[in-house]
Structure 1
Amino acid sequence: MYDYQASMHHKLIIIGAGASGLMAAVTARDLGIDTAILESNDRIGKKISMTGDGRCNITNESTATGTDEAVALSRKYHSSQAEFPLPVLQQFGIRQTIDFFNVLGLPLTRLKEGFMYPMSLQAASVLDIFELALEDRNVPVYLNNKVLDVTVSKDSPRFKFTCRTETEEQVVYTSEYLFLCTGGLTGLNAGTDGSGYALAQRMGHTLIEPVPAIVQLKVQYPHLKALSGIKLQGRAHILVNGEVVRSETGEIHFAEYGLSGPPILQLGRKAAVHLARGDSVTVSVDLMPGRTEEEVIEFLEMNWGTFAHRTVAESFIGFLHKKLIPVLLKEAGIGQEPNLLCQDLSWKTKGIFYKILKHWDFKVTDTHSFENAQATAGGIATKELVANTLESKLVPGLYLAGEVMDVDGDFGGYNLQWSWSSGYSAAMALGKHIFK
């Protein structure tokens, strides 16, 4: 396609100027490694600028529990190899992340549920600090250079990796070591299009099929339009083939397509993975998570007994969202009886209300797409990487960091934390290898 005439050489080339690539570049350069970055966009960290509603949720301090921090933190991650993230998180965890950004000149602040943000509450501050850090360290960043292909030479250690890019300059980039920090499939507008998967596969690696994670659920339900816009505190359970596989509590949002809100986003990964396998997936919503089933029955019976002269609809006012009430009446089969009194409720209808308030089931038909998801589940198989260094077992000198591999975290800053941790660990491992 191109007749490449010139080459640019560095000891280490990092493909991707996202979170993991930037962390790796700063760490590697501080170790004295000649480092450069190839980035397909016209600026660094484009996806970072879009995270956390424009504020950048850098990490989450809620799992910082002293000596057990790394173990607690590792439980927030998912991979085909469940124990794979732990050695990386032990090297660079939450405390190290906070210290790292303080050293760069970016103090963090803690908001709700341990979410950590730049003190400015602006994602742009993160990019500005990294730009200054790269400039201070004389790390070249070759922008508008999308890598189309990587060839690996077995004959020349100095020119082991050759990167060909989509650029008019007709320059190839060669290096002795290569970091693949290209991200997953989320943030297509930021250039994270999964192209790193193809590069790794051409070098012999295996791809575990990616699916959206931290994502909204589409459900099959006839009254979604009537529920749209409702937000409530509840508990949601994901059931796969009838068995509960995960539960989360928090603010649940109803929309015309289905369900959203932090608890649903946390459950989205399970739904996506099992839907891809052809399993039956259901989300069950508990509208009164602070009470047991027996307590709910006792509460309703007392309410209906005390206000027997009121209509059933009126009996729910005060503890349920008002827009929910007509839908619940339809679910119980009395939607056409708006004036039915509590004293006239049948035992069968009461039983339906008991069940709905604790187990309101919705059949999950799909998740939203990668365009709406906040993370990618799946990626390059971790069994082909050395767990504590992230070096490829198939191609010596090739390292992976960030979302390109089969590791994804929960909602709340954990995926950015994995980028910081993996970028740092890969760079430190390379430094130990070079300067041993």
Structure 2
Amino acid sequence: MKNYDAIVLGAGAAGLMCAAVAGQRGKRVLVIDHAEKAGKKILISGGGRCNFTNTGTAPDRFLSANPHFARSALARYTPADFLGLVERHGIAWHEKTLGQLFCDGSARQIVAMLLDECDKGAVDFAFGRPVGAVDHADGRFRIGDAHAPALVIATGGPSIPKMGASGFAYDLARHFGLKVVEPRPALVPLTLGGDDPFRALAGVATGVVARAGKAAFRGAMLFTHRGLSGPAVLQVSSYWRHGEPIVVDLLPGRDEGWLRDAKRATPRASVGKLLAGAVPQRLGEALTGALGLSGELANLPDAKLAAAERALAEWRFLPSGSEGFAKAEVTVGGISTAELSSQTMEAKKVPGLYVVGEAVDVTGWLGGYNFQWAWASGWAAAQAL
């Protein structure tokens, strides 16, 4: 029987961070993962360059049944803290739009950095080892021939199952009597019904403001063979509920009355010609047809043009669903924050049991926020081990 101070289940972002920090604090740590190597989701993130954090990180950019839960961990381990680690390892990086930080080179550098930090803490690894039964007795957790007074669940959520993701964390949480907020796909493309004419626009992208409920995001929207994708749609997908529409401003920034003003300035022009200068041609043609606005502007009543303006500013798509966990970048929902300490990530009614990263009911926006939650929650738990 091998004795440890902590066993970490999952060699992803949160698990590696937790193990490295705890190990360097003098704790004997074992990381167990069913995969053959560490950080598989890290490696595919950000197009292989890993959007490892976001300088705009704030609690209001995360979804949770308790919107205040993430505040403590995020305040104690910040994007600047992680960036300092990246720079100490000599990893070149750059900032894209909206505070997103990426490696200049490869996501492999982030995995190598985390493994190096684990080596500094003398962390043990057991790869290619599916976790079977987890026994808990006399204040100790036992998995196979290893036991410890602390167990960290860092196995993520069910998004991207082809990478080995599953609902294992939820099953284990329920085994210990912890509640789970219903998980659903997030940062995921949305589908449109088979008869929706906009599916014929696959490959067309345009800048929009997309809304679902009270959430609104500006960015690109991409029409696909199955429906809608692109950053703006991925963002609102986390807030979207089945049966609800998403509302899209197809021409953001236009002043009220722009079509009527165009009628007075260029009465011989058509709505189609105006749209062709503002959106991709195929989309402009589809919108003109859907609005029923053929012919010259001079021949169209102002009331009809005003109605067209409203329609273009509040175009309603009714998704038939999403592309599910297979295409979801992350999961909304997870192990209930009501069960956990926001300071330590420890389960309130199971001393020694911790939950970090995506397994927790905390989900960030697109753009590096979920990695920052992984680093911050892993760091918080490591301070308490």
Question: Which TM class, normalised by the smaller chain length?
Answer: over 0.9
Q: For the residues of structure 2 that align with 1:226 and 1:404, how far apart are their CA atoms?
A: 37
Greater Cα shift, 15-24 or 229-238: 229-238
1:131 correspondence with 2:115: yes
CA deviation digits over 1:378-434, x for unaligned, max 9? 11111111110111112101111111111111100000110000001000122xxxx
Amino acid at match of 2:217: E
1:58 to 47, 52, 63: 52
Q: What TM-score, normalized to structure 1?
A: 0.84
Establish whether residue 300 from structure 1 lines up as the match of residue 259 from structure 2.
yes
Q: 1:104 Cα shift?
A: 4.2
Q: 1:117 to 1:186 in 2, by over 3 A?
A: same
Q: Deviations over 1:174-202 (max 9, x none)?
A: 11211111101112122221212111211
1:192 corresponding residue in structure 2:
165
- Higher mean displacement: 252-261 or 405-414: 252-261
**Residue matched to 1:415:** 370
* Aligned equivalent of 2:279: 320
Q: Distance in 1 between matches of 2:148 and 2:216?
A: 47
Amino acid at match of 2:204: I
Q: Is the 8 A contact 2:181 2:334 kept in 1?
A: yes
**1:223: how far off?**
1.2
Aligned with 1:291: secondary structure?
coil
Q: Tell me, yes or no, if structure 1 residue 98 matches structure 2 residue 83.
A: yes
2:209 match: 235
Q: 1:160-199 alignment to 2 at 5 Å?
A: 160-164=140-144, 172-199=145-172
Which amino acid in the other structure matches residue 21 of structure 2? T
- Alignment correspondent of 2:226: 257
SS in 1 for 2:239: helix
The answer to which structure, 1 or 2, has the higher relative contact order (CA under 8 A, 6+ apart) is 2
Counterpart residue identity of residue 148, structure 2: S
- What amino acid maps onto 1:144 in structure 2? G
> Any idea what the Cα deviations from partners look like across 1:81-140, whole Å, max 9, x if unmatched?
1111001111111111112233344354322221112242x1111122223333343211
Structure 2: runs of 5+ lacking an equivalent: none
SS in 2 for 1:236: strand
Alpha-carbon distance in 1 for matches of 2:146, 2:376: 26
| Contact 2:185–2:324 (Cα < 8 Å) also in 1 | yes
| Residue 49 in structure 1 maps to residue 16 in structure 2 | no
AA in 2 matched with 1:197: Y
**1:282 and 2:256 matched:** no
Contact 1:226–1:323 (Cα < 8 Å) also in 2: no
Q: State the distance in 2 between where 1:228 and 1:346 align.
A: 33
1:11-60 CA-partner distances (Å, limit 9, x unpaired): 21111100011001110011000111111100011111011111111101
Partner amino acid for 2:164? G
Q: Which amino acid aligns with 1:225?
A: R
In the other structure, the counterpart of 2:30 is 36
Question: Does 2:345 match 1:390?
Answer: yes
State the 1:364 CA deviation: 2.3
TM-superposed CA distance for 1:349, in Å, is 3.7
Specify the code of the residue in structure 2 equivalent to 1:163. Answer: I
Q: 2:157, 2:165 within 8 Å by CA — same for their partners in 1?
A: yes
1:350 aligns with 2:305: yes
Count of equivalent residues = 384
Q: Is 1:19 aligned to residue 17 of structure 2?
A: no
* Rg comparison, structure with higher value: 1
Q: CA deviation at 1:224?
A: 1.6
Indicate the SS of the match to 1:134. helix
Amino acid at match of 1:85: A
The change in CA–CA distance for 1:348 and 1:395 in structure 2 (over 3 A counts) is same
**1:232-279 superposed Cα distances (whole Å, 9 cap, x missing partner):** 11211114xxxxx211111121223222111111110111xx32xxxx
Distance 1:284 1:308, change over 3 A: same
Q: Which residue of 2 aligns with 1:369?
A: 324
Whether the aligned pair in 1 keeps the contact of 2:24 and 2:120 (CA below 8 Å) is: no
TM, length-normalised to structure 2: 0.94
Mean Cα deviation higher: 28-37 or 95-104? 95-104
Deviation, 1:348, is: 5.4
Q: State the partner residue of 1:309.
A: 268
- Give 2:336's aligned residue: 381
- Identical positions, percent: 30
Cα deviation, 1:312-351, whole Å, max 9, x if unaligned, reads 43343322321122212222235xx5xx232222455424
Letter in 1 for 2:114: F
Could you say if the C-alpha distance between residues 107 and 29 of structure 1 is closer, same or farther in structure 2, counting changes exceeding 3 Å?
farther
CA–CA separation in structure 2 for the residues paired with 1:256 and 1:371: 16
Query: Is residue 60–residue 114 contact of structure 1 (8 Å, CA) maintained in 2?
Result: yes
Alignment counterpart, residue 10 of structure 1, candidates 4, 25, 29: 4
1:229 maps to amino acid: G
Q: Is the 8 A contact 1:235 1:289 kept in 2?
A: yes
Answer yes or no: is 1:291 the counterpart of 2:264: no
Determine whether 1:267 maps to 2:236.
yes
Structure 1 letter corresponding to 2:196: P
User: 1:78-93 residue pairs with structure 2 within 5 A?
Assistant: 78-93=63-78
Query: What is the CA distance between 1:62 and its match in structure 2?
Result: 3.0
Distance in 1 of aligned mates of 2:271 and 2:215: 33
The one-letter code of the counterpart of 2:187 is I
Aligned alpha-carbon RMSD (Å) = 1.8
C-alpha distance in 2 between matches for 1:84 and 1:223: 42
User: Residue 237 of structure 1: SS of its match in structure 2?
Assistant: strand
- Distance (Å, rounded) in 2 between the aligned partners of 1:311 and 1:396: 70
8 Å Cα contact 1:49/1:56 also seen in 2: yes
Partner-residue secondary structure (3-state), 1:233: strand
